């Protein structure tokens, strides 16, 4: 893998930290700014909204720019947004700064995925995406716990100063290592890109991503109460167990990329089925502590094994100049899946099914994603010349 690819990994690491680290600092932000914990929680929702709005908007606005320039501008927005967070005089300013920072998120991963696939041979494209997304998994394993510790000991603003420094470093690395890439000759026609995005195979690919990740966050959003109240672990045991989940993310992400390079569709279908199976069996494993530890690690591996094939699937379905917009929308689809999964898990709890029901309910969601992916495959087969001949016979 070329060094330029690891420059994209550095940017993904910084973005991953700033997205998730606020979850561990809600109490500190709430106390310092004099707002409720639920109001502080809107800093997470506001970021997700910024990703959803910013991904298509920034991709369309920068479509005619050289892709390296796009990445540099996005990392500059990310760095300045985190500086604004560190300097925010109050809650409203902090929320606005979080939304501004999120505008860089979707397009960075979307355009970065296209750049990453252009840096390697065709048979290594999914692996290249996996290497870039490794920055996100390492952020979850190492960056977020360290950022949380830093904020708890030196104030939450210290965490945002540190993330700003990471952004500045990533900006310098991208400037030095990523080669210049001109925008596609037909880039900038946002109507053509939207038409490509509106094609049924692309829309079905985006829906597959939403459902694939929605299942994970049905469970993972409530992983701490699951571990403590169902499996009986102490509060001190939660963080080490989550480190195993993070390790599973890294392994699953890289393995999913390798397998998707060999056979994309079987890897996509197999990883979704594996995720559903792991969550279904986890319902029984939660009543044994050692099995719970094993299945938390398996959940991390199975969930992120879906990421490279999901991203590569949408890129292939979009094709041509529509890839950047479709790729950015797919990052938004991951975030929408996160939000829907958290909502579904809350509904399961509120309806009285209990925490222990979360894994088996969550398992139904990637099964729905599997059904959507199979529908997309059937649609492709009917659209092919051989499929049309068979249908008319």
Residue 185 is given by DSSP the state T
Question: According to the model, what pLDDT value does residue 165 have?
Answer: 92
Kindly provide the b/e burial profile for residues 318-348, where b requires at least 16 CB atoms within 10 angstroms of the residue's own CB.
beebbbbbbbbbbbbbbbbbbbbbbebbeeb
Spatial CB neighbours of 153, under 8 Å, sequence gap ≥ 6: none
Give the CATH fold of the 188-393 domain. Growth Hormone; Chain: A; (1.20.1250)
Question: Within 10 Å of residue 58's Cβ, how many Cβ atoms?
Answer: 23
**8 Å CB contact between 127 and 120:** yes
**8 Å CB contact between 343 and 179:** no
Residue 357 is given by DSSP the state G
**8 Å CB contact between 5 and 120:** yes
Spatial CB neighbours of 165, under 8 Å, sequence gap ≥ 6: none
Angle, nearest 10°, between helix axes 156-177 and 67-87?
160
Least confident of 149-158, 164-173, 185-194, 210-219: 185-194
Q: What is the mean pLDDT of residues 315-342?
A: 75
pTM of the model: 0.74
**8 Å CB contact between 365 and 211:** yes
CA nearest neighbour of 130 among 224, 239, 24, 256: 256
Within its chain, how far is the Cα of 39 from the centroid? 24
CA dist list (Å): 124 to 150, 151, 152: 38, 39, 41
Tens digit of each residue's pLDDT (9 = 90 or more) over 267-323 = 989 999 999 999 999 989 988 889 999 998 999 899 888 888 888 888 777 766 566
CA nearest neighbour of 114 among 226, 257, 5, 248: 5
Instruction: Name which residue leads in pLDDT, 116 or 393.
Output: 116
Tens digit of each residue's pLDDT (9 = 90 or more) over 93-128 = 999 999 889 888 878 888 888 788 888 887 787 788
Spatial CB neighbours of 214, under 8 Å, sequence gap ≥ 6: 337, 338, 340, 341, 344, 365, 369
pLDDT band at 391 (very low <50, low <70, confident <90, very high): very low
Question: Within 10 Å of residue 165's Cβ, how many Cβ atoms?
Answer: 14
**Percentage above 90 pLDDT, the chain:** 16
**8 Å CB contact between 326 and 197:** yes
Structure tokens at 86: 């560190």
Residue with tokens 């890294």: 250
**8 Å CB contact between 315 and 324:** no
Question: According to the model, what pLDDT value does residue 367 have?
Answer: 92
Q: What is the CATH architecture assignment of 1-183?
A: Up-down Bundle (1.20)
Start-end ranges of CATH 1.20.1250.20 in the chain?
Answer: 1-183, 188-393
Residue 122 is given by DSSP the state G
Residue with tokens 């900006």: 171
């Amino acid at each position: 893998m070329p060094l330029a690819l690891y420059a994209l990994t550095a940017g993904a690491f910084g973005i991953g930290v700033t997205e998730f680290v606020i979850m561990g600092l809600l109490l500190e932000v709430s106390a310092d700014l004099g707002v409720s914990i639920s109001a502080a929680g809107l800093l997470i929702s506001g970021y997700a909204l910024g990703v959803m709005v910013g991904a298509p908007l920034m991709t369309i606005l920068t479509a005619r720019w050289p892709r390296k320039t796009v990445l540099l501008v996005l990392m500059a927005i990310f760095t300045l947004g985190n500086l604004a967070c560190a300097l925010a005089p109050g809650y409203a300013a902090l929320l606005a700064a979080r939304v501004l920072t999120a505008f860089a998120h979707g397009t960075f991963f979307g355009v970065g995925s296209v750049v990453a696939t252009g840096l390697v041979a065709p048979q290594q494209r999914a692996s290249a995406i996996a290497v870039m997304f490794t920055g996100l998994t390492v952020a979850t394993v190492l960056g977020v716990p360290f950022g949380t510790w830093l904020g708890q000991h030196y104030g939450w603003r210290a965490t945002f100063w540190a993330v700003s420094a990471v952004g500045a470093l990533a900006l310098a690395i991208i400037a030095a290592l990523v080669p210049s890439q001109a925008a596609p000759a037909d880039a900038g026609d946002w109507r053509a890109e939207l038409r490509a995005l509106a094609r049924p195979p692309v829309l079905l690919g985006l829906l597959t991503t939403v459902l694939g990740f929605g299942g994970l966050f049905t469970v993972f959003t409530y992983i701490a109460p699951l571990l403590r109240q169902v499996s009986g672990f102490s509060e001190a045991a939660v963080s080490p167990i989550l480190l195993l989940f993070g390790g599973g993310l890294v392994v699953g992400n890289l393995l999913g990329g390798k397998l998707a390079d060999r056979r994309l569709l079987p890897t996509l279908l197999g990883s979704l089925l594996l995720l559903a199976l792991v969550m279904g069996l986890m319902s029984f494993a939660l009543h044994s502590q050692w099995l719970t530890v094993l299945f938390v690690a398996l959940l991390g591996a199975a969930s992120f094994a879906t990421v490279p094939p999901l991203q590569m699937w949408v890129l292939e379905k979009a094709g041509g100049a529509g890839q950047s917009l479709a790729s950015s929308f797919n990052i938004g689809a991951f975030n929408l899946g996160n939000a829907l999964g958290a909502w579904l898990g809350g509904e399961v709890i509120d309806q009285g099914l209990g925490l222990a029901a979360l894994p088996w309910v969550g398992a139904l969601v990637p099964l729905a994603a599997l059904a959507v992916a199979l529908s997309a495959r059937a649609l492709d087969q009917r659209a092919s010349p051989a499929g049309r001949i068979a249908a008319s016979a």
